[in-house]
Amino acid sequence: MTITEEIQALKKEKNAVILAHYYVNPEVQEIADYIGDSFYLSKVAVGLKEQTIVFCGVSFMGESAKILNPDKKVLMPDVEADCAMAHMADAETIRRMREQYEDLAVVCYINSTAELKRHSDVCVTSANAVQIVRALPNQNIFFIPDKNLAHFVAEQVPEKHFVYNDGYCPVHEKMQVRELLDVKEQHPKAEILCHPECPKAVLELADYVGSTSGIIRYAAESACREFIIGTENGVRWKLEQENPGKTFYFTKTEPVCRDMKRITLEKILHVLKTGEQALEVNEALREAAQKPLERMLELAK
């Protein structure tokens, strides 16, 4: 039996389902039952009939699935796969901001720890942040942890006042204007599609800014045949699979999230075989962090 066949057989035997983010290795996306952006994965996790979820992504993603589905077993193929940005805010600053602004809404990007979510009013992802912030009754928004996404949302919702936090994604923050322009010079007809975690100067060059799913959808619907992609290189697999006649370019320094790439078929097989590395979230924390996540699912409907 190949490793893929072994995984498929164990999945049936253990009543398990595999969820994967677009940034994981292609061979992992290939065996997943559901692939998507953070918003899709959090929605899909609710209401799955299988008892066990193998989450191929970084820890905040598995944690969100566990928070929303406390009765399910959520297995993490690599417990060290973490998102650096998820830790780039703190409860003390949130407390101070709440003192300063009476009607403050703490808007928490889903790329955050459960501890940060617990202190927040609503969660958002890059796919729904604009829609949700616009729908909030509050005038003052403290957006954590990502400053780049915060600035992008603030531009779309100018009627609100934003307070920024100094978090960022180390992968997207490194995207260089010069490198994007180099690709554009070589392929002048290509459209530039970027993730909102990129710095403002990069986003200014983009023809489209959106979540990983948004980028994949845009590329499929556009009449253009060539694209320059401003996000992590894992999206290439889906982009090429769904658009056989189109070409996708990345910058010379390809953005790679080392944590996402930690997930391998061997590690998936191991957790399926042993049931090890099941996520546990303390019940008080889980209940508190569930509220902003559920509010997101409600407001994004």
Binding site residues, ligand 13P, CB under 6 A: 37-39, 111, 125-126, 169, 195, 197, 211-212
> Which one, of 37, 274, 193, lies nearest residue 29 by Cα?
37
171 makes contact with ligand SF4 (CB under 6 A): yes
* Sheet with strand 105-109: strands edge to edge: 122-124, 105-109, 140-144, 161-164
85 makes contact with ligand SF4 (CB under 6 A): yes
CB contact at 8 A, 138 and 104: yes
Comparison of 58 and 239: residue with beta carbon closer to ligand SF4? 58
259 makes contact with ligand SF4 (CB under 6 A): yes
Here the tokens at position 93 are 């600053």
> Which H/E stretch holds residue 179?
helix 177-186
Comparison of 17 and 260: residue with beta carbon closer to ligand SF4? 260
Binding at 125: pick from ligand 13P, ligand SF4, none (beta carbon under 5-8 Å per type)? ligand 13P
Comparison of 61 and 132: residue with beta carbon closer to ligand SF4? 61
- What is the DSSP track for 84-135? GGGGS--HHHHHHHHHH-TT-EEEEESSS-HHHHHT-SEEE-TTTHHHHHHH
> What is the smallest separation between the CB atom of 212 and ligand 13P, expressed in angstroms?
4
84 makes contact with ligand SF4 (CB under 6 A): yes
257 makes contact with ligand SF4 (CB under 6 A): yes
Comparison of 36 and 72: residue with beta carbon closer to ligand 13P? 36
Alpha-carbon gap, residue 170 to 174, rounded angstroms: 6
Comparison of 54 and 88: residue with beta carbon closer to ligand SF4? 88
113 makes contact with ligand SF4 (CB under 6 A): no
Buried b or exposed e, range 188-199, using 16+ CB within 10 angstroms: eebbbbbbbbbb
251 makes contact with ligand SF4 (CB under 6 A): no
% helix, strand, coil for the chain, step of 5: 45, 15, 35
> What is the smallest separation between the CB atom of 82 and ligand 13P, expressed in angstroms?
11
Token look-up 């998102």 returns: 83
177 makes contact with ligand SF4 (CB under 6 A): no
What are the angstrom distances between the C-alpha of 69 and each of 40, 45, 187, 190, 294?
Answer: 15, 7, 46, 42, 11
CB contact at 8 A, 129 and 144: no
Comparison of 22 and 142: residue with beta carbon closer to ligand SF4? 22
232 makes contact with ligand SF4 (CB under 6 A): yes
Chain residues 52-71 in contact with ligand SF4, contact rule CB under 6 A: 58
Binding at 165: pick from ligand SF4, ligand 13P, none (beta carbon under 5-8 Å per type)? none
Binding at 84: pick from ligand SF4, ligand 13P, none (beta carbon under 5-8 Å per type)? ligand SF4
Here the tokens at position 62 are 């598995």
**Where do contacts with ligand SF4 occur on this chain (CB under 6 A)?**
58, 83-85, 111, 169-171, 197, 232, 257, 259-260
